[in-house]
């Protein structure tokens, strides 16, 4: 099949979270099955073109969105065939991948239009156009209307993957003309355009309405978003399409994330010799300026600091737990200021136990996976979550809330049968979290049980080789 991905993040070029990891990996695994996969993303100013050399492709052209005209150039990756970057400094040379600027909707509309216009220039006829999150939510409708005249796309089917349904891309209805689809006004969800607050357009919603299929990133999340609690207003529309809504757990790119191969960590290790893990723990603590004590467990966190991730439960609770149990806490992340401040306050109060590294660092993310004993992910909701799956492979025992992909990937430890690989709490409250973390800390003191837990997790297989076949099935069954 000819498959085209359009995404706002692709690792290793630019990512803020798991979307980048997934779109960085899935096309490679589809190619291994013989498909021709092309991937489009913005050429953000942050992309290091010295490390990832690119070359211009064809002549520049103009993308017109309503009354706005953007000059774009397409560049291809020299080392990664099939990778296309949309170059438009006016749109993408900003301080961050995502902004709250008034043209945010146009930044990603332009990405989709530039992708389709490039396919026309290449005369590349996709069987599947695979869209990701709200940024590409209007693309299925755009293809069916504005590009319907072009026979190049007459056999193209579309699929939208929802990586997080809380980010919906909601913009004022006054921006309708920027979509170039004002003539197709009747195809927009009417209630939204006429809403008393002046009306709005919800990009993710229109992806759900018009894509030939909708997938999300775990089976449990696929069910959760069809209910009111986690539907975020989209549940009625997802229920209406329930036969085409499929949950596929994300895969893990084990070339990038496994302790045997990891080039970011000082000591590689494997299930048959775990000694390197203890050495990585020492390296981690040293890197963060914390003392090392044998037999004192290290809890790790690597995360966007967003309310989704459930860290508000730690306020009040964490100081008490640190005092009582004496473990160490290494935290990497950035995001909402009140959460950053909370972790900073833990560090100030417990300087030899806690280190909060505020920022984004891929090497440190790898070192925490390798060096920590326990990985904490108390997400309020989690469409899939990758770090708990990385943790399992590194023998870093996850403590998670039972939601979304966390429920689908972590099996609760059963001390009687010695089965299971993590600690899973049912209710998202401090009692649940305290129980799970204290049970993990108590189990850590039993070296035989702990080793079993680690090995159970390390033996689990979330490889893309398996998951990619599920995407193939979805592609084969897409509606028109």
Summarize as ranges the residues that interact with ligand ADP (CB under 6 A). 17-19, 21, 302-304, 332-334, 360-362, 365, 384-387
Q: 303 touches which of ligand GLC, ligand ADP, none (CB within 5 to 8 A by kind)?
A: ligand ADP
| Residue where the block lists tokens 């069916």 | 144
Handedness of CA 163, 164, 165, 168 (dihedral sign): negative
**Residue 244's CB: how many other CB atoms inside 10 A?**
18
Q: C-beta of 61: minimal distance to ligand ADP in Å? A: 33
Q: C-beta of 391: minimal distance to ligand GLC in Å? A: 13
Per CB under 6 A, the list member of 14, 111, 143, 217 interacting with ligand GLC is 217
Q: 39 touches which of ligand ADP, ligand GLC, none (CB within 5 to 8 A by kind)?
A: none
Does 326 interact with ligand GLC (rule: CB under 6 A)?
no
Q: 391 touches which of ligand ADP, ligand GLC, none (CB within 5 to 8 A by kind)?
A: none
Q: C-beta of 387: minimal distance to ligand GLC in Å? A: 9
> Which of positions 3-32 make contact with ligand GLC (CB under 6 A)?
17-19, 22
Q: 65 touches which of ligand GLC, ligand ADP, none (CB within 5 to 8 A by kind)?
A: none
> Which of positions 27-86 make contact with ligand GLC (CB under 6 A)?
none
Give the nearer residue to ligand GLC in terms of CB position, either 18 or 259. 18
Q: 360 touches which of ligand ADP, ligand GLC, none (CB within 5 to 8 A by kind)?
A: ligand ADP
Give the nearer residue to ligand ADP in terms of CB position, either 140 or 333. 333
Per CB under 6 A, the list member of 256, 382, 408, 421 interacting with ligand GLC is 382
Residue nearest to ligand GLC (CB): 18
Q: Which residues pair with 270 in a beta bridge?
A: 273
Q: C-beta of 90: minimal distance to ligand ADP in Å? A: 28
Number of residues that make up the chain:
480
Residues contributing to the site for ligand GLC (CB under 6 A): 17-19, 22, 163-164, 217, 250, 382-386, 405
């Amino acid at each position: 099949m000819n498959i085209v991905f359009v995404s706002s993040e692709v690792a290793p070029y630019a990512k803020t979270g798991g979307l980048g990891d997934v779109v960085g990996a899935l096309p490679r695994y589809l190619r291994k099955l013989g498909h021709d996969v092309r991937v489009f993303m913005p050429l953000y100013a942050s992309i290091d073109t010295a490390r990832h050399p690119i070359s211009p492709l064809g002549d520049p052209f103009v993308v017109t969105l309503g009354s706005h005209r953007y000059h774009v150039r397409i560049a291809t990756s020299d080392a990664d065939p099939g990778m296309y970057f949309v170059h438009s400094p006016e749109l993408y040379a900003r301080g961050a991948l995502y902004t709250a600027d008034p043209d945010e909707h146009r930044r990603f509309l332009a990405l989709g239009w530039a992708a389709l216009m490039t396919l026309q220039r290449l005369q590349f006829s996709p069987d599947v156009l695979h869209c990701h999150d709200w940024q590409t939510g209007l693309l299925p409708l755009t293809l069916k209307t504005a590009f319907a005249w072009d026979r190049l796309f007459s056999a193209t089917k579309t699929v939208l993957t929802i990586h997080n349904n809380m980010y919906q891309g909601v913009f004022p209805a006054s921006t309708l003309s920027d979509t170039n689809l004002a003539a197709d006004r009747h195809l927009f969800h009417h209630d939204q355009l006429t809403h008393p607050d002046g009306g709005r357009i919800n990009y993710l919603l229109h992806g759900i309405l018009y894509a030939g299929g909708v997938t999300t990133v775990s089976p449990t999340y696929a069910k959760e978003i069809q209910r009111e609690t986690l539907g975020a207003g989209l549940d009625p529309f997802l229920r209406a399409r329930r036969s085409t809504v499929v949950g596929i757990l994300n895969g893990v790119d084990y070339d990038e994330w496994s302790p045997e191969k990891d080039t970011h960590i000082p000591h590689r290790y494997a299930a048959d010799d775990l000694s390197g893990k203890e050495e990585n723990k020492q390296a981690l603590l040293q890197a963060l300026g914390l003392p090392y004590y044998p037999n004192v467990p290290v809890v790790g966190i690597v995360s966007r600091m967003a309310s989704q991730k459930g860290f508000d439960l730690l306020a009040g609770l964490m100081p008490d737990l640190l005092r009582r149990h004496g473990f160490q806490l290494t935290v990497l992340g950035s995001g909402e200021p009140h959460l950053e401040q909370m972790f900073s306050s833990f560090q100030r109060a417990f300087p030899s136990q806690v280190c909060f590294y505020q920022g984004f660092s891929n090497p440190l993310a790898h070192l925490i996976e390798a060096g920590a004993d326990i990985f904490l992910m108390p997400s309020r909701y989690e469409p899939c979550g990758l770090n708990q799956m990385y943790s399992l492979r590194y023998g870093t025992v996850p403590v998670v809330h039972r939601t979304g992909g966390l429920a689908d990937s972590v099996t609760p430890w059963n001390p009687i049968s010695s089965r299971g690989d993590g600690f899973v709490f049912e209710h998202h409250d401090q009692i649940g979290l305290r129980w799970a973390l204290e049970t993990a800390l108590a189990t850590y003191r039993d070296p035989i049980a702990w080793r079993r837990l680690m090995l159970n997790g390390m033996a689990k297989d979330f490889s893309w080789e398996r998951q990619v076949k599920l995407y193939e099935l979805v592609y084969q069954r897409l509606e028109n």
